Structure 1
Amino acid sequence: MKLQKKTNIVQSVDRAILILEVLEKSPEPLGVTEIGNRMDLHKSTTFGLLHTLENRGLVIQDKENGKYKLGLRLLEFGEKVRERINLRAQAKPFLKQLVDEYQETVHLVVKTDNEYVYIDKVEGPQAIRMYSQIGKRALMHCTGVGKSILAYLPDSELKGILNNIKLTSFTPNTITTLEQLKEQLQRIRLQGYSLDDEEIESGLRCVAAPILNYNGEAVAAISVSGPTTRMTYERIKELVEPVKETSLKISSTLGFKIK
């Protein structure tokens, strides 16, 4: 069967990926010439690609013999992919249970860089629903799930984010100063949950809680969300414990030990 020629391929990126595939298939580290010969590339081109991959931790060069092997950064990528795939599957029954019991939309998000991304959503049966989309990114300072994740990050990672965070205002309730944000994060750590009280969108409230890994660090969060006409403060109080309990159940599937 004749393969169709693909368009819009960036040659240098394609070659870099092929280098990783060559190293993945080789039981032993390979030198620049060996890799170049297997790919029919000039030595200087191969070296430039390897140097770039090494700079990003995707390959490692043995300083004694000059040969290359796959880098540990790839293992980190694989762990993130595995964690997210497993997390979605493991969390699904718990998310459905929350929706069945409380009839509101439930979200599952994971941290990515200085934002979070929706990886699952279970719609409630109510007539008025939220617009949200799996794969969509959002900011962390103005949402319940975002603040839950921030509150349980390692101090060094949190400091890096706070040093670069842009506290964009979306509503009169949005946090716009670092002092306010830090105070809220401290409160969230003490109580184990967070709120979005019309902070990213007027007329919308949610209660959220972090999902923790075996180190007690936040890798994700869940939320129950809805319009303020249904998500009254009394309703929020009713949802706090179920959301916290659900997040802990999901956390336990990642190795988190409840003390």
Structure 2
Amino acid sequence: MTNTGGVQSVERTFELLELMAEAGGEVALSQLAASSGLPLPTIHRIMRTLVGGGYVRQQPSRRYALGPRLIRLGETASRTLGAWARPYLAELTEVTGETSNMAVLDGDQVVYVAQAPSRHSMRMFTEVGRRVDAHCTAVGKAILAQLPDDTVAQVLARAQMKPQTERSITTVDAMRTELTSIREQGYAVDDGEQEIGVRCLAVAVPGSPSNAAISISGPETRMSMIAVDEVVPLLIKAAKVLAREMDSPHG
């Protein structure tokens, strides 16, 4: 047992799974040893157990990759998170009149897990479960701004920063500048970078273990009339409430 009352072997197992996810889902034992500081025999024993359960698989190269059984766990967790967050998004939509979304970072992309659609006939519509590149969305950029620089560099390198529109940011230097601005102002903007004609404001859910963000999106014509200094505080307030709920052991 550890000092915090947790079971040490369980804590180590989840630490290794998190390290694998941060590395893009596939690693060598030596990488895990260097990152975790755990002895190789301990890592090997844990990996062998995870392989046996289908949570990790061993590649022909002898490297270890996240296994298929984690997909079901992740999908179920995403649905649960989305259902729980929807009332908070509905409040944002009620006040702003525009579509509210929640998304989480999954690998090198963000996946939308919840949405409260606008009542307008012309509205921004993103299907729950849709995956998009982080670098050209407000939710993605808000999440990236919360991550260490080396992690951001790895995500961008793997994603290759392909443009979705002519407004998409496509260089690492430009993205670094963008993320610095997001950290300073406290919110991210997607101004037609994912889809021309659509504007989005987003903030990260602070301290979220799932690297989450919430956003308000709509047509540029209507979003340009929304006062950023009025909407962003609403987003920040909702994000803080969500963060407290996510951190609660009873939430």
Which TM-score tier does this pair reach, normalised by the shorter chain? 0.5 to 0.7
Q: How far did 1:86 drift?
A: 4.3
CA offsets 1:191-244 (integer angstroms, 9 cap, x no match): 22100011111111010011233xx66611111000011000653333111111
Is the CA contact (8 Å cut-off) linking 2:81 and 2:113 kept in structure 1? Answer: no
| CA distance 1:57–1:196, shift in 2 (3 Å) | same
TM-score by length of 2: 0.67
Match of 1:240 among 226, 232, 249: 232
Amino acid at match of 2:106: T
Q: Of the candidates 109, 121, 125, which is equivalent to residue 119 of structure 2?
A: 125
Residue 255 (str. 1) matches residue 244 (str. 2): no
Structure 1 runs (4+) deviating above 6 angstroms are: 68-74
Which residue of structure 2 lines up, in the alignment, with residue 108 of structure 1? 102
Larger radius of gyration: 1
Is the CA contact 1:210–1:218 (under 8 Å) kept in the aligned structure 2? no
- The aligned counterpart of 1:57 is 47
Closer, same or farther: CA 233–195 of 1 in aligned 2, 3 Å: farther
Q: How far apart are residue 121 of structure 1 and its match? A: 1.1
Q: What do you get for the CA RMSD once the two structures are aligned?
A: 3.1
In structure 1, the partner of 2:85 is 91
- TM, length-normalised to structure 1: 0.65
Summarize deviations over 1:92-139 as a string: whole Å, max 9, x none.
221111011111101111111100111111111112112321111111
Q: How many residues are matched?
A: 194
- The 3 A distance-change label for structure 1 pair 224 and 59 is same
Unaligned runs of 5+ residues in structure 1 are 1-53, 62-67
The aligned residue for residue 185 of structure 1 is 179
- Give the alignment of 1:140-219 within 5 angstroms: 140-213=134-207, 219=211
Q: Give structure 2 stretches of 5+ with no counterpart.
A: 1-43, 57-65
**3-state SS of 1:230 partner:** helix
Q: Which amino acid aligns with 1:148?
A: A
